[in-house]
Structure 1
């Protein structure tokens, strides 16, 4: 052992994992009372309980503090504030341990409210702590920094994941997209201290040294483990004479505080304190110590890509509702920023529910092995409730806004009109869509802008209960327009004439007819769909074989692609062991070598609609794992955009599954780069990332873009956030910064999965429909491209008005 003393700084906390060990309401009460128990311990110390002197506590997430301050009596609150100011209780500015599902505005606002709530007590939060989660959107660094945080303690759980920089227990400055620098300690597992110091369990988790099988007391085991831990760090040239170690009261999530830890510290230090000392600290205290160390700290910039982003793929239906709620909240805030129409409290409550659903826990701990367990279903429904409540309140907000601007109930006594509002800070061209059960006496009509009297293109489609009125709208930033209906004469009656292009069975399949129809602007057939922007070809068995950009004269499907565009791909892994073990052994791959893969085969093509605004065709596929599967292609005639709705009936399967859509796209130019938008940032995957981070999959916000100096090809993803990159077969995992990891690679929409062996939702069965949009943009500005994606996912608000 070196003569220089080494210090283990113990950060005592309770890991906030909401819905993993019990239902959310009970965990909330637990954490409130954990803080009360900590205050009782500190009060006992100050009353003379000397054997607990040195005890300190850290509130891992601010949510626990928020709930405590909302419910505790004043005496507890006063003591809490006193102990925070004395440095005996540490605060974290991180609200909850999040996934990348949450958008930047909601994340930033929530952190700001947390920080601001402590200002009335003259307390400034400067540090944040996360535990369990394996990464963050790059914008998280800005959300922390711009709300006063300067330090982040990251306690990564490398279960199916990994720490960045190829090394843990080291600091670095994380430079944000805006250039801010956040001091990060790239730490150990959040329960490593329980294995080192106070292990009262008969299994090994992060330390596999075999001591569990020795006949040792808990203290003797701790002595050996602490000595070995420090020795290995020194052998690996650890540059500090200290290291932080997080520890909970018991080796479990959502656990209470424990005075046994400080009692152990006193006993250990009395024997070994001259060589290795243990000391409890708060987050701020640790970072003060780190800042005083004379070791140069490196700076890294880039996305800290989350290995645990795939949880959102296990509940795709609810995530779809969540993302709709997030967009509606954005639109409401754009059009009523001060809450004068809807009430500011609606923003706060919707953001709370969005944050709570996007918290990292994706279900009860035995969701895979005991899917019938009451807690599994109860906690799945409880978690879903947060997304549904967010959607409900955001929908109510939008309804209030459209009513404020002129929406009315239907009426048989008044005249039908339509309204459109652009919620964005930039102009848009869009197709307004309004559903009506009746056209209220109108049959043959034209639609006019009310203010100018100009006739605008429209198309009336159908849905199960009535009509879809689609109107081409062009709106400036936040502009509102009204549209009126004018009846026109019934078109002339057609007759047989001298040419029977439509045969007596009612089919017109002559090539000359298709050519003549295309000359009018577009054509859609069972073989192709073409307009002035695109020529889309599809073939039996192969699917969509070509999407040709007629504006730039470029093929948009990569010639080296393994799959046709939007081809569905289903994977299932036969269970050779148990449902748990099969998934555990997949490691970071999310699949096995023996995973079975089925490629969707195109069986049919049915023309659905062809009008002034768009053409629509349904492509039917044969795909294992589904009872029915199809793509609905909608190509717009005045906008360079193709909507693709993936509609399928998924079978219920217990085995590990994945479902993908191939996205084999390119601008056709050699100088292109691939960009994605995540929480608070736009970046190039595999380039603008921290070294050593995940390169296999990403959770997006509005979508992705291939950007060249000539044009942009945008893929908007309103419903499913996950994409996979590279080989979707089981493979050796390569990390960012390693050879052979390229920005341009195969890309897939990762529609759903039930991979994780503990708490993912196992049953993906049911009816599903998810939308993707492919758009062209002649700008070479990537920010403009993602504005297009935003406007596509969050369309113009439309409503009817009877006046």
Structure 2
């Protein structure tokens, strides 16, 4: 990314400490001289960004082989100048292992055993999206590498957050340290850089954490200017090359002397900034592209000459775990404990690809249901194991932190950007396809399954962990019988079908206007599916039905919630609990429930000002779509209000507000026919809940986390990855907002873009971030798309530690003719 300016500033900023000379003098007496600098050398792995991801995958295997060669070449050097290499992610090691010869594997093992190479614990540098199921299964898939190399250091670079819910998992797996090399581009470190402290997790477990300099900053300790040109040349660009010889880390006595004076000025500033240790670690990469760079051989010569010339402090070419071990004694009594979820400043970039993130979230939800449904249906999944494992790996890989090329906004349609997007999007859609195919395979291997052409019986199952109420759906095209209802074989209750229209292979209908879909002269409208609504299916419960013809019309059951009369200003109205008229939303808010808010900014360098958090230089304007139609539908299972809006950013926006009968739930489905958005824009959905006594909670890697109170001070307070939604706990009930397709939310107000840190919300308003295109790099612009985004508000039984599921998907499938018993 645009790292040069920001990584240099993060190092040089310590020199700007404003204090008197007498204070400096007292601090210098308290803080020891820095006697040793540990140089930690690795290449930062972006799967994309600089090149097509396939190039990077191949490059990192070659980089590892080069590092092994450099280790061998420097075996006779003094110990502290021998070449060392840190493998930043285990996926790199896995790719190496797939193609390495037996001799290369043996060489690697020997170098690890001798401490010349170290394997760190993370598969790659990850976003905040992983949830326990796919993540733990990915670690299980990589068990050979964890068992063989027993990594102790969790290394996360570039990204400036990790879910605190991972801390218990880290400790359980035997990981002892966290090395966090944040990139302060568009973000800030939560503590002074560098610093060492205990990071406390949600279960009070602690892990020792080094808040490191960014990997590009180590070069700045010995050089006044970056050698790199570019900014980010692709690997195939023959006009650029990594430095060699003395082009960087010049080991001549004259240059060593210059570097020594330069380095010690930085160290003096660091001590004056109250750095309390006699040892320091800095990260080093190379100066070709900075990201995805090969090992830098000349560091060994530089360290050897520096130490031979007795420059201070002493340089030690080493690995992260060796640095942590060296700090055991010198850090006694000097480490604070910091508690909370490490919220990521970069997370808003996920909203630049809303369609793909919605698919990813859907596949993630289905992932644990695959094995659970096989257990419920007593299906052997032995021959599916490889496919399940591959799907889970694809889901994990899709949450790695690289989502596009470095020039993704400047040149959104060039080969590099399109290649990056197609690779990542392809993996997401492939994982989704695998999840659906595995679901179908389990159903088809169920002993009671029957081809639908031979049966009038179906079964409906809840594959989840909590009770579900939702639609059971049957393909409209596949239905061969003249039926219009399903009869519960246990209770005798009859459920008439609702027909859902769609477009499928058929002749177009003359005069039928389908302006929001493809042109009406392509296909005609048909019944895409028939469905009926079931309530309160328990986890693992199966219910059987016979399909039949009936004249019965079901009387709609009242919802346990009700919507008040809307108005021109608020066409939705408020949402009340029917039993006591409790208002769920704040009547005094500027926003109505589910309202779409469009945020735009204009002016020179507006994107840059957004990312640099220069809020005062930004001119934000806010608008809401114009209502053009409001319709009310009374169905057999629910009441629906459908609102159609017009706006400049989309062909149309249609919102459906549905109250299912007999439930305390409001479903909101928002369909946006989005136009291409190259100018900066963000779109939110408002949920101005009435003031609640408790703070909103979300799940951080499966652990309930209170907004503000359980978030790390200094981490991002503008928006948070809430995974599947948030909830408020109360004595009488839990108020839940499900956001299955949109994992980002802001609290109290819209994002400030003022580098706001974690805070305690002054109200209970929540804003779901639907999409934005604010980033200048690494994330795509908003492409034309049909976005179908789901939200729901529901009242649940009051529980302190409830299982949080945001889906009500039920599995329906044909089965053999019913037999008693």
TM value normalised by structure 1: 0.86
**What is the match of residue 794 of structure 2?**
775
Match among 804, 809, 815 for residue 795 of structure 1: 809
Q: Deviations over 1:259-312 (max 9, x none)?
A: 211211222233453x31221111110111122224322222211111111121
Q: Deviations over 1:615-640 (max 9, x none)?
A: 22211123331221121112100221
Q: Where do 1:455-466 residues align within 5 Å?
A: 455-464=493-502, 465-466=526-527
Q: Contact 2:772 / 2:782 at 8 angstroms: preserved in 1?
A: no
Q: Is residue 621 of structure 2 the alignment partner of residue 596 of structure 1? A: yes
Q: Contact 1:368 / 1:758 at 8 angstroms: preserved in 2?
A: yes
**What is the match of residue 476 of structure 1?**
538
**What is the match of residue 313 of structure 1?**
351
**What is the match of residue 347 of structure 1?**
388
**What is the match of residue 582 of structure 1?**
607
**What is the match of residue 694 of structure 1?**
716
Q: Contact 2:556 / 2:635 at 8 angstroms: preserved in 1?
A: no
Q: Deviations over 1:583-636 (max 9, x none)?
A: 3554237896312221233332123x4233112221112333122112111210
Q: Where do 1:350-429 residues align within 5 Å?
A: 350-405=391-446, 406-411=448-453, 414-429=454-469
**What is the match of residue 321 of structure 2?**
284
Q: Contact 2:355 / 2:787 at 8 angstroms: preserved in 1?
A: yes
Counterparts of 1:559 and 1:170, CA distance in 2? 46
**What is the match of residue 188 of structure 2?**
162
Q: Which runs of 5+ in 1 are unaligned?
A: 206-211, 492-516, 523-529
Match among 85, 89, 111 for residue 139 of structure 2: 111
Q: Contact 1:674 / 1:744 at 8 angstroms: preserved in 2?
A: no
**What is the match of residue 157 of structure 2?**
131
Query: Cα gap change, 1:221/1:380 in structure 2, threshold over 3 Å: closer, same or farther?
Result: farther
Q: Is residue 72 of structure 2 the alignment partner of residue 43 of structure 1? A: yes
Counterparts of 2:683 and 2:396, CA distance in 1? 27
Query: Cα gap change, 1:403/1:473 in structure 2, threshold over 3 Å: closer, same or farther?
Result: farther
Q: Contact 1:134 / 1:307 at 8 angstroms: preserved in 2?
A: yes
Counterparts of 1:726 and 1:583, CA distance in 2? 25
Q: Contact 1:601 / 1:623 at 8 angstroms: preserved in 2?
A: yes
Query: Cα gap change, 1:311/1:729 in structure 2, threshold over 3 Å: closer, same or farther?
Result: closer
Match among 722, 729, 750 for residue 707 of structure 1: 729
Query: Cα gap change, 1:713/1:690 in structure 2, threshold over 3 Å: closer, same or farther?
Result: same
Q: Is residue 483 of structure 2 the alignment partner of residue 448 of structure 1? A: no
Q: Contact 2:609 / 2:617 at 8 angstroms: preserved in 1?
A: no
Q: Deviations over 1:751-779 (max 9, x none)?
A: 011111112111332221111111111x2
**What is the match of residue 572 of structure 2?**
544
Counterparts of 2:53 and 2:158, CA distance in 1? 18
Q: Deviations over 1:691-743 (max 9, x none)?
A: 11111101122211122222111111111111122332645433126xxx426
**What is the match of residue 237 of structure 1?**
274
Match among 616, 635, 641 for residue 659 of structure 2: 635
Q: Where do 1:506-585 residues align within 5 Å?
A: 531-577=559-605, 582-584=607-609
Counterparts of 2:255 and 2:229, CA distance in 1? 13
Q: Contact 1:52 / 1:263 at 8 angstroms: preserved in 2?
A: no
Q: Is residue 210 of structure 2 the alignment partner of residue 188 of structure 1? A: no
**What is the match of residue 511 of structure 1?**
none
Q: Is residue 82 of structure 2 the alignment partner of residue 54 of structure 1? A: yes
Counterparts of 1:408 and 1:195, CA distance in 2? 68
Match among 33, 46, 50 for residue 17 of structure 1: 46
User: What secondary structure is seen at the aligned counterpart in 1 of 2:398?
Assistant: helix
Q: Contact 1:673 / 1:708 at 8 angstroms: preserved in 2?
A: no
Q: Contact 1:540 / 1:601 at 8 angstroms: preserved in 2?
A: no
Q: Is residue 777 of structure 2 the alignment partner of residue 758 of structure 1? A: yes
Counterparts of 2:588 and 2:262, CA distance in 1? 53
Counterparts of 2:624 and 2:484, CA distance in 1? 45
Query: Cα gap change, 1:628/1:425 in structure 2, threshold over 3 Å: closer, same or farther?
Result: closer
1:132 Cα deviation from its structure 2 partner = 0.2
**What is the match of residue 171 of structure 1?**
196
Q: Which runs of 5+ in 2 are unaligned?
A: 1-27, 232-247, 503-525
1:184 Cα deviation from its structure 2 partner = 0.8
Counterparts of 2:129 and 2:282, CA distance in 1? 29
Counterparts of 2:380 and 2:615, CA distance in 1? 44
**What is the match of residue 98 of structure 1?**
126
Q: Contact 1:543 / 1:567 at 8 angstroms: preserved in 2?
A: no
Counterparts of 1:385 and 1:587, CA distance in 2? 32
1:67 Cα deviation from its structure 2 partner = 1.0
Match among 703, 715, 721 for residue 743 of structure 2: 721
Q: Is residue 673 of structure 2 the alignment partner of residue 658 of structure 1? A: no
**What is the match of residue 507 of structure 2?**
none
Match among 290, 296, 305 for residue 258 of structure 1: 296
Q: Contact 1:128 / 1:152 at 8 angstroms: preserved in 2?
A: yes
Query: Cα gap change, 1:23/1:161 in structure 2, threshold over 3 Å: closer, same or farther?
Result: same
Counterparts of 1:158 and 1:798, CA distance in 2? 49
Counterparts of 2:439 and 2:392, CA distance in 1? 15
Counterparts of 1:477 and 1:641, CA distance in 2? 19
Query: Cα gap change, 1:240/1:659 in structure 2, threshold over 3 Å: closer, same or farther?
Result: same
1:360 Cα deviation from its structure 2 partner = 0.3
User: What secondary structure is seen at the aligned counterpart in 2 of 1:143?
Assistant: helix
Query: Cα gap change, 1:5/1:660 in structure 2, threshold over 3 Å: closer, same or farther?
Result: closer
1:435 Cα deviation from its structure 2 partner = 3.2
Q: Where do 1:603-682 residues align within 5 Å?
A: 603-607=628-632, 609-666=633-690, 670-682=692-704
1:59 Cα deviation from its structure 2 partner = 0.6
**What is the match of residue 497 of structure 1?**
none
1:92 Cα deviation from its structure 2 partner = 0.3
**What is the match of residue 143 of structure 1?**
169
Query: Cα gap change, 1:729/1:360 in structure 2, threshold over 3 Å: closer, same or farther?
Result: closer
1:51 Cα deviation from its structure 2 partner = 10
Query: Cα gap change, 1:425/1:565 in structure 2, threshold over 3 Å: closer, same or farther?
Result: closer
Query: Cα gap change, 1:73/1:60 in structure 2, threshold over 3 Å: closer, same or farther?
Result: same
User: What secondary structure is seen at the aligned counterpart in 2 of 1:349?
Assistant: helix
Query: Cα gap change, 1:97/1:354 in structure 2, threshold over 3 Å: closer, same or farther?
Result: same
Q: How many residues align?
A: 737
Between 1:473-482 and 1:367-376, the stretch displaced more is 473-482
